[in-house]
């Protein structure tokens, strides 16, 4: 148990530091020279992977589109307005933004240029408008995969606040579809997390974390991972960082494919002359990470073949 606590403590520290388009579209892009500005919030690997996917898709479609890159993290905060104005003054056909920071900065000032984003989580809550590819993985996708990884699970714990009420409601609906019972507990702050978990721990055989900064922060996460281990309750984390910290599994986006999805949207918008029904597009490819040390400690039987499908495996 001391070993697991050390794993959790180290992991929490790491956690803190964080289809083709139509033939007419291809013909349009191939016959017309165009320019797309690519604006990153930061030069981090997930964002760069999304850019790679975006550019690869354009290349594979044999488009005659050039791109010019900007990274907003390279500029001081007092320089941001001038940098955004400079970007918008260029004669690009479309702007592709990556991450919340860049997307909000560009959307705030863009008027005459179409903008497509990727790598934004809960866009409606952070003030980001469509069109774009969000990072939110639908509950139905999580449950579909969870059923394969943990086939014996039936009752899933879910602690949420007013900020994540809609996610809880979505989970209940999706859970019913896949044969899961969602045992939920609503709280108003992270301070209530221990007592809420205590209330539902005896009723569940798995726990699903939710993107809610109001109640999930280092101390509550550490408590959850420690207590879930003591009670033999596997935790589904929000990303591989949580799996490193002691969660059993997490479902993550395929960042390159998010970029490809954004490129599809961009080509459709350019083909339609800038008109496209505003929409948030959800990830179509999901990968998962596993912690083998947690699997062993909780004495969980993982079906043959699942391990091979994992994109990341910790605790080998």
* DSSP state, residue 93: S
Per the CB < 8 A criterion, the answer to whether 184 and 156 are in contact is: no
- pLDDT tens digits, one per residue of 277-295: 678 999 999 999 999 999 9
Q: What pTM was estimated for this model as a whole?
A: 0.79
CA distances from 278 to 34, 73, 102, 268, 275 (A): 22, 28, 19, 12, 9
- Are both 131 and 211 inside the same structural domain? no
- d(CA 23, CA 119) in angstroms, rounded, equals 27
User: Which residues span the domain enclosing 102?
Assistant: 19-136+255-286
Q: What is the pLDDT of residue 26?
A: 40
Q: Give pLDDT tens digits for 175-221.
A: 999 999 999 999 999 999 999 999 999 999 999 999 999 999 999 99
196, 308: one domain: yes
Q: Is the pLDDT of residue 58 over 60?
A: yes
Give the mean pLDDT of 140-156. 94
Closest to 235 (Cα-Cα) out of 272, 214, 207 = 207
187 and 265 assigned to the same domain? no
pLDDT the model gives residue 143: 96
Say if residues 159 and 185 touch (Cβ distance below 8 Å).
yes
Query: What is the distance between the alpha carbons of residues 164 and 214, in angstroms, rounded to a whole number?
Result: 9
Residue 240 above 60 pLDDT?
Answer: yes
Task: Indicate the pLDDT class of residue 136, thresholds 50, 70 and 90.
Answer: very high
The chain-wide mean pLDDT, for the chain, equals 88
Among residues 90, 70, 125, 132, which one has the least CA distance to residue 107?
132
Confidence of residue 6 (pLDDT cuts 50, 70, 90): low
Q: Is the pLDDT confidence value at 17 over 50?
A: no
Tell me the three state secondary structure of residue 290.
strand
50-59, 209-218, 287-296, 297-306: least confident range: 297-306
pLDDT score recorded for residue 20 = 27
Alpha-carbon gap, residue 110 to 151, rounded angstroms = 48
Q: Over 80: is that where the pLDDT of 7 sits?
A: no
pLDDT of residue 219: 94
Residue 239: helix, strand or coil by DSSP? coil
Pair 232, 99 in one domain: no
Characterise 212 by phi-psi region: left (phi > 0), alpha (psi -120 to 50), beta (else). Answer: beta
- Say yes or no: 160 and 146 in one domain: yes
What pLDDT is stored for residue 274 in this prediction?
Answer: 56
Assess whether 111 and 31 both reside in one domain: yes
- 246 and 199 within one domain: yes
**Which residues have C-beta within 8 Å of that of residue 3, sequence separation ≥ 6?**
none
Give, in degrees to the nearest 5, the angle at Cα 114 between 53 and 20.
Answer: 40
Q: What is the pLDDT of residue 18?
A: 38
**Same domain? 8 vs 24:** no
Considering only residues 3 and 109, tell me which one the structure prediction assigns the higher pLDDT. 109
Q: In angstroms, rounded to a whole number, what is the distance separating the alpha carbons of residues 125 and 106? A: 17
C-alpha span between 259 and 256 (Å, rounded): 5
274 contacts 114 by C-beta, under 8 angstroms: yes
Question: In this predicted structure, what is the pLDDT of residue 125?
Answer: 85
CATH, residue 241 = 3.40.50.2300
* pLDDT at 2 > cutoff 80: no
Residues 75 and 207 in one domain: no
Distance of alpha carbon 241 from alpha carbon 159, whole angstroms: 20
* 148 & 293 share domain: yes
| Spatial contact of 217 and 190, defined as CB atoms under 8 Å apart | yes
**Whether the predicted pLDDT of 44 surpasses 70:** yes
Residues 251, 256, 261: CA angle, nearest 5 degrees: 95
pLDDT at 27 over 50: no
Number of domains in the chain: 2
273 and 242 together in one domain? no
Rounded Cα distance between 115 and 36, Å, is: 10
172, 202: one domain: yes
Q: How far is CA 8 from each of CA 3, 4, 232, 248, rounded to the nearest angstrom? A: 9, 6, 15, 12
Where does the pLDDT of residue 23 fall: very low under 50, low under 70, confident under 90, or very high at 90 and above?
A: very low
Give tens-digit pLDDT for 62-103: 889 999 999 999 998 889 999 999 999 998 999 999 999 999
**What end-to-end distance do the CA atoms of the chain give, in Å?**
18
């Amino acid at each position: 148990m001391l070993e697991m606590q050390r794993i959790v403590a180290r992991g929490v520290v790491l956690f803190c530091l964080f289809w083709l388009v139509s033939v007419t579209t291809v013909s349009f892009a191939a016959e017309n020279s165009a320019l797309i500005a690519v604006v990153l919030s930061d030069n981090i690997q997930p964002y760069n992977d999304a850019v790679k996917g975006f550019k690869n898709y354009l290349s594979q479609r044999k488009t005659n589109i050039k791109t010019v890159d900007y990274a907003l993290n390279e500029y001081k905060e007092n320089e941001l307005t001038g940098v955004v104005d400079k970007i918008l003054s260029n004669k690009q056909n479309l702007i592709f933004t990556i991450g919340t920071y860049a997307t909000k900065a560009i959307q705030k000032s863009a008027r005459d240029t179409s903008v497509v984003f990727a790598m934004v989580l809960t866009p409606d809550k952070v003030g980001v408008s469509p069109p774009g590819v969000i990072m939110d993985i639908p509950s139905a996708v999580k449950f579909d995969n969870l059923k394969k990884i943990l086939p014996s699970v039936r009752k899933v714990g879910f602690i949420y606040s007013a900020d994540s009420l809609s996610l809880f409601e979505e989970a209940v609906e999706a859970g019913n579809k896949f044969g899961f019972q969602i045992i939920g507990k609503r709280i108003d702050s992270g301070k209530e997390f221990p007592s809420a978990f205590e209330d539902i721990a005896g009723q569940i055989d798995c726990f699903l974390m939710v993107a809610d900064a109001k109640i999930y922060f280092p101390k509550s996460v550490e408590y959850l991972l420690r207590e879930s281990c003591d009670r033999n309750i596997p935790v589904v984390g929000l990303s591989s960082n949580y799996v490193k910290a002691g969660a059993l599994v997490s479902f993550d986006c395929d960042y390159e494919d998010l970029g490809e999805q954004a490129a599809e949207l961009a080509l459709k918008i350019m083909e339609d002359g800038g008109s496209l029904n505003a929409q948030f597009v959800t990830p179509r490819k999901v990968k998962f990470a596993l912690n083998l040390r947690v699997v062993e400690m909780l004495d969980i039987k993982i079906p043959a073949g699942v391990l091979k499908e994992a994109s990341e495996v910790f605790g080998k």
